[in-house]
Amino acid sequence: MVIPMHIQHVPQIAALEEATFSLPWDEASIRAELENPLALWLVCTENETVLGYVGSQTVFEDADILNVAVRPEARRRGIAAALLRELEPMLTARGAERITLEVRASNAPAIALYRKLGYVQVGLRKNYYEKPREDALILQKQIAVRKVIE
C-alpha cells in the first residue's frame, strides 16, 4: 500500500537510508521533511513494514526527487515504479510541471526504471556522488503543461 509518510515511518526510512546510500539522511533530517511544506514523501508498506519510499520537494513548477529506495528483499516487485507513479499526480496537484532527479551513472537498474517511466537525460553532474566518487545523470520527466492565458 502506498501512503504519505508519517512519523512512525521515519525510523524505518532512516534504517533503509543507512543500508542503501553511502551518505544517508539521518532520522532528524527525514523527520524535518514532515514539517516542510515543499516536501512530499510516500512509503510503500506491508504489515507495518516500510518496503520502500520516495522523497520529493516541489518549488513552483519544479519537483525534485530526493531519494528512492526499496528494501533489498522487496526489489523487483514494482515497488519503486508504484511509488513514482503515485507521486506524479500528487506533484501535479501541487503545481509541478516536471520532475528532476539525479542517479549514479553506474546504477543501470534505476536508470532502466526511470527511462521506462518516461524520464530522459537532460544533463550530467561530474563527480556529484561521493563514496565512491561518481558522475550523476540528470533525468527529467514532463508531467504537466502550463496553460498560457492570452
Is the model more confident about 46 or about 148?
46
Residue 145 has pLDDT above 90, yes or no: no
For the question of residue 119 being annotated catalytic, the response is no
pLDDT digits over 90-141, tens only? Answer: 999 999 999 999 999 999 999 999 999 999 999 999 999 998 999 999 999 9
> What ranges in the chain are assigned the alpha helix state H?
10-20, 27-33, 79-93, 108-116
Cβ contact 124:136 at 8 Å: yes
Q: Return the axis-axis angle of helices 79-93 and 108-116, rounded to nearest 10°.
A: 50
Q: What is the DSSP letter of 26?
A: P
Name all domains of the chain by residue range, CATH numbers in brackets: 2-142 (3.40.630.30)
User: Is 128 buried (19+), middle (13-18) or exposed (0-12) by CB count in 10 A?
Assistant: middle
pLDDT digits over 24-58, tens only? Answer: 999 999 999 999 999 999 999 999 999 999 999 99
Residue 149 has pLDDT above 70, yes or no: no
Whose CA is closest to 101, among 140, 143, 135?
140
Say how far apart CA 76 and CA 33 lie, in whole Å.
27
Is the model more confident about 150 or about 42?
42
pLDDT value, residue 150 = 63
Q: Which of 17, 33, 53, 114 is catalytic?
A: 114
Q: What is the DSSP letter of 144?
A: -
Single-letter code of the amino acid located at 72 = P
pLDDT confidence tier of residue 148, bands split at 50, 70 and 90: low
pLDDT value, residue 144 = 85
Q: Which of 17, 102, 119, 129 is catalytic?
A: 102
pLDDT value, residue 40 = 98
Say how far apart CA 133 and CA 115 lie, in whole Å.
23
For the question of residue 53 being annotated catalytic, the response is no
Residue found under cell 532528524: 28
